[in-house]
């Protein structure tokens, strides 16, 4: 299978003991690319370092809503500097998280909006985190559209109606491991409906481990289980589904063209 993991956090200390082996397993499973997504400035720097070390890894740099409160005053300048690296392919992750509310909502909103503006100026795609903030995220995306470089709603958890709006705004929808869970009927239904040319798959490793490894640490090799699940839902060949998602990833993050 040819696989593309559109969202992972391989810089996290969860992999400090076996990062090389984990990447070797990813290659063996068929991974051609992994987008390692920054969580804060430190993690974004580490994402760039990983991308320098491993040819299949690309980096995104951004401030997650969980740590929006801690973003230094010059975070936009720092993100812009990091984004000049040739292996930085997107800004993110960024967005709103009204489930855990680890940063104050007004600051989450401000840090999200400012990153969207920066991405537009730099002509980079955006990687968006939305948890229990669907209405607000859609309001912002509508107000700030168009996004000429596009983007992705990662670990999609909204409705089919919202997915249609995201697609009409030019976004991809990325489905993560929970689609493999037995009782995930709503997400399975949405995965069935998302047009193939707008679909990405991801692990969000080390989180959200798919069945049959649920409960253990996640890693990019496990994105195959998400591919197989969605192929089954769409009644198509596993390898074909995986290949289309890989092509979509290369298109969104412009891995085929010289940047």
Which positions touch Ni ion (CB under 5 A)? 204
Residue that the structure tokens 């990983």 belong to: 50
Judged by beta carbon, residue 130 or residue 204, the one nearer Ni ion is 204
Residue that the structure tokens 């290369």 belong to: 250
Judged by beta carbon, residue 8 or residue 233, the one nearer Ni ion is 8
Q: Nearest approach, Cβ of 37 to Ni ion (angstroms)?
A: 5
Q: Nearest approach, Cβ of 203 to Ni ion (angstroms)?
A: 9
Judged by beta carbon, residue 97 or residue 204, the one nearer Ni ion is 204
Judged by beta carbon, residue 60 or residue 241, the one nearer Ni ion is 60
Concatenated DSSP letters of 14-70: GGTTTHHHHHHHHHHHTEEEEEEEPSSHHHHHHHHHHHHH-TTEEEEE---GGGGGG
* Bridge partner list, 5: 34
* Exposure of 185 in the CB half-sphere (CA atoms within 13 A): 1
Judged by beta carbon, residue 205 or residue 231, the one nearer Ni ion is 205
Q: Nearest approach, Cβ of 235 to Ni ion (angstroms)?
A: 29
Judged by beta carbon, residue 5 or residue 204, the one nearer Ni ion is 204
Q: How far, rounded to the nearest angstrom, does the alpha carbon of residue 146 sit from its chain's CA centroid?
A: 20
Q: Nearest approach, Cβ of 150 to Ni ion (angstroms)?
A: 18
Other C-beta atoms lying within 10 Å of the C-beta of residue 195: 10
Element (H, E) at 136: helix 134-144
Judged by beta carbon, residue 204 or residue 229, the one nearer Ni ion is 204
Q: Nearest approach, Cβ of 93 to Ni ion (angstroms)?
A: 5
Strand order in the sheet with 151-153: 3-8, 31-37, 57-61, 88-97, 126-131, 151-153, 171-175, 199-201
- Rounded CA-CA distance 58/35 in Å is 5
Q: Nearest approach, Cβ of 72 to Ni ion (angstroms)?
A: 21
Q: Nearest approach, Cβ of 128 to Ni ion (angstroms)?
A: 10
Residue of this chain nearest to Ni ion (CB atom): 204
- Tell me the three state secondary structure of residue 88: strand
């Amino acid at each position: 299978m040819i696989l593309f993991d559109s969202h992972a956090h391989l810089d996290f200390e969860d992999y400090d003991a076996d990062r090389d082996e984990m990447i070797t397993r990813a290659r063996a499973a068929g991974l051609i690319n992994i987008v390692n997504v920054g969580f804060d400035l430190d993690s974004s720097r580490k994402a760039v370092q990983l991308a320098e070390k491993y040819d299949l890894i690309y980096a995104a740099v951004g401030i997650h809503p969980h740590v929006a409160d801690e973003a230094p005053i010059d975070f936009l300048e720092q993100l812009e500097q990091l984004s000049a690296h040739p292996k930085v392919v997107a800004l993110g992750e960024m967005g709103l998280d009204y489930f855990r509310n680890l940063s104050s909502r007004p600051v989450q909103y401000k840090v999200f909006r400012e990153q969207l503006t920066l991405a537009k100026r730099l002509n980079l795609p955006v990687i968006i985190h939305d948890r229990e903030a669907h209405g607000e995220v859609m309001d912002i995306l509508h107000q700030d559209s168009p996004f000429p470089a596009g983007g992705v709603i990662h670990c999609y958890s909204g409705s089919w109606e919202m997915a249609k709006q995201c697609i009409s705004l030019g976004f991809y929808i990325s489905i993560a491991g929970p689609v493999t869970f037995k009782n995930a009927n709503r997400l399975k239904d949405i995965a069935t409906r998302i047009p193939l040319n707008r679909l990405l798959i991801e692990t969000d490793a080390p989180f959200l481990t798919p069945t049959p490894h649920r409960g253990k640490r996640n890693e990019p090799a496990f994105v195959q289980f998400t591919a197989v699940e969605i192929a089954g839902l769409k009644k198509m060949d596993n390898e074909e589904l995986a290949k289309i998602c890989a092509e979509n990833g290369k298109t969104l993050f412009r891995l085929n063209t010289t940047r």
